[in-house]
Structure 1
Amino acid sequence: MEKVFRNYNAPDVKSAVREHYRKMRTNQTHDYVLRMREKYLTYDKPLALWDAMEQLNILVDVSDPDLDLPNVQHLIQSAEAIRADNRPDWMQLVGLIHDLGKAMFLWGCDEDGTSQAEQWGMVGDVFVVGCALPETCVYPEFNALNPDMQDPRYNTANGIYKEHCGLDNLLLAWGHDEYLFQVLSHHKGNTLPEAGMAMIRYHSFYPWHTGGSYNELLNEKDRQYLEWVRDFNKYDLYTKSSKTYDLQEIKDYYQPIAKKYLGEGPLLW
């Protein structure tokens, strides 16, 4: 029987997954996201890529209904599937690091939803803050819990945004995607192509790339983004399995690729 992914209403989905999204929808407001960007985007905490990978050995993504393994295993599964399909080396690296922003838990806290215990500010499908929440969000019944949906500045289709302003001008719910994107954008050694950066930044934006929402805010550039992210999505989603890898054993292959696109110095988080 073929495995079904992202079935959030399946009988065996943990109640913690539903509770995660309730908290995420309740707390991820426009003002919250601005506070988190100011607090976490400081680029003053050096941490080497491979050390960050090691830290994800102790983090299980509570929002994931499909996988109950340390997050580093999901990253290696994605990268190895991209490698098996002979895709470009930069895309293999993106597969390996796309969730690395979850290292935020190392300096996060329960109050922000950025800790091991409280992950609602770090993982899960993201959405646009500053405009109405769409029905394509996971558990849309929680949309009404968001205080912004009672604020006339934020509860219309376009909200604070101009029509067709484009994805890059939207403020998304705070999480590991945007965090890693900004860390890499400020990393002097980063030469990942635009496609790879888009895959990192938008891979959790399911209401857009899978749900088809926010059309009134998209521009022509976003058509290319959609093609790139959907291409990556099949490796992010459909490679999940119980197979596990030893990080040290795969490091010899990926280390030269990481050096090629990210240089040798640590990332500044």
Structure 2
Amino acid sequence: MAEAKVFRNYDAPDVSVAVKEHYRKMRKNQTVAYVRQMHDKYLKFDKPMDLWEAMRHLNSLIDVSDPDLDLPNVQHLIQSAEAIRADGRPDWMQLTGLIHDLGKVMFLWGSDEDGTSQAEQWGMVGDVFVVGCALPDSCVYPEFNKTNPDMQDDRYNTALGIYEAGCGIDNVDLAWGHDEYLYQVLNNHQTNTLPEEAMVMIRYHSFYPWHSGGAYKELLSEKDEKYLEIIKDFNQYDLYTKSQQVYDLEDVLDYYQPIAEKYLGTGPIFW
């Protein structure tokens, strides 16, 4: 019997130096002030782009934070969507699988300085965490937590930080990345009719310190228990479908385009 593939093993000897360096930079630079700066920069919704044009741009991006896959990111998206489709899950979930990483298109307008470029991705990809409160040990490479300047600020370095107990994850600020970017873009999109479950999958799929690490119990609300079920369901397709199988987006476009038009309309998305 073939040995089962182990995913997200950041201590494996074959994990690249670039992966660890990515998380070092992310932990050092993603502060409350930085996240607010990225919201101001990116959430203007003034860059109209066709959905499929955005998808094709991900042929040019390999996620440097991913220890499991070194293919262009569009391949991961199609792999996820096709696995969801093969299991007969709802069409909205298939579309969610196809677009869940589409926020990485921010590299088109990004810069090395703020970590949103092809070369410097620490403001775009990787596991996210809450800014404005103590960083948990469930973060990847927790030894980097102490390098975050906010952890030397008494406003931000306690379990609750700037938040109230039980406020819920909808009411905290996460490290900036492709999840929050796409969520905010779709939330601002006038013809978006994706269900709440899809929006939860998009917004929180990279929030591993919470959904896989069990952190932030002080902040969670009853609603977050439902969110956790949704994310764990989606995670099996986000994580365990990664392979070296290569698809051509044009070959699956005829199937997914009507679904996209059903939930997102036919006009451009405003990034």
Instruction: Please name the residue that 1:38 is paired with.
Output: 40
Q: Give the count of matched residue pairs.
A: 269
2:17 alignment counterpart: 15
Report what 2:77 is aligned to. Answer: 75
Deviation at 1:97, TM superposition (A): 0.0
Query: Secondary structure at 2:130's aligned position in 1?
Result: coil
- 3-state SS in 2 of match to 1:111: coil
Using the alignment, how far apart are the partners of 1:123 and 1:47 within structure 2?
21
Secondary structure at the residue paired with 1:51? Answer: helix
Q: 2:128 maps to which residue?
A: 126
Long gaps (5+) in structure 2 = none
4+ aligned runs moved over 2 Å, structure 1: none
Aligned to 2:91: 89
Match of 1:112 in 2: 114
CA distance in 2, matches of 1:141, 1:215: 21
CA deviations over 1:85-125 (Å, ceiling 9, x no partner)? 00000000000000000000000000110000000000000
Following the alignment from structure 2 to structure 1, what is the Cα–Cα distance between the partners of residues 217 and 262? 37
Q: 1:208 & 1:244 partners in 2: Cα distance? A: 31
Query: How far 1:21 moved relative to its partner?
Result: 0.1
2:64 match: 62
| Mapping for residues 161-176 of structure 1, pairs under 5 Å | 161-176=163-178
Which of these residues, 206, 209, 213, is aligned with residue 207 of structure 1? 209
CA distance, structure 2, for counterparts of residue 224 and residue 157 of structure 1: 22
- Amino acid aligned to 2:251: E
Q: Does 1:49 align with 2:42?
A: no
Structure 2 counterpart of 1:191, from 190, 193, 197: 193
Partner of 2:162 in structure 1? Answer: 160
| CA drift at 1:140 | 0.2
TM-score, with structure 1 as normaliser:
1.00
Instruction: Give the one of 218, 225, 228 matched to 1:226.
Output: 228
**SS at 1:259's partner residue?**
helix
Tell me by how many angstroms 1:152 deviates.
Answer: 0.2
Task: Give a deviation string over 1:32-87, Cα, whole Å, max 9, x none.
Answer: 00000011100000011100000000100000000000000000000000000000
Partner amino acid, structure 1, of 2:257: Q
Return the alpha-carbon distance in structure 2 between the equivalents of residues 196 and 230 of structure 1.
13
> RMSD value over aligned CA atoms?
0.3
What's the TM-score, normalizing by structure 2?
Answer: 0.99
2: CA distance, partners of 1:8 / 1:76? 24
Name the aligned partner's letter for residue 109 of structure 2.
Answer: W
SS of equivalent residue, structure 1 residue 101: helix
Match of 1:255 among 250, 254, 257: 257
> 1:139 Cα shift?
0.2
Amino acid at match of 2:115: G
Which digits, 9 at most, give the CA deviation of each residue in 1:116-162, with x for residues without a partner?
A: 00000000000000000000000000000000000000000000000
- Secondary structure of 2:191 counterpart: coil
Instruction: State the identity as a percent.
Output: 75
How big is each residue's C-alpha offset from its partner over 1:175-194, in whole Å with a ceiling of 9 and x where there is no partner? 00000000000001100000
Q: Distance in 1 between matches of 2:102 and 2:84?
A: 17
CA distance in 1, matches of 2:48, 2:111: 19
Give, in whole Å, the separation in 2 of the partners of 1:153 and 1:145: 16
Aligned-partner Cα distance in 2 for 1:234–1:47:
30
Unaligned runs of 5+ in 1: none
Q: Which amino acid aligns with 2:37?
A: R
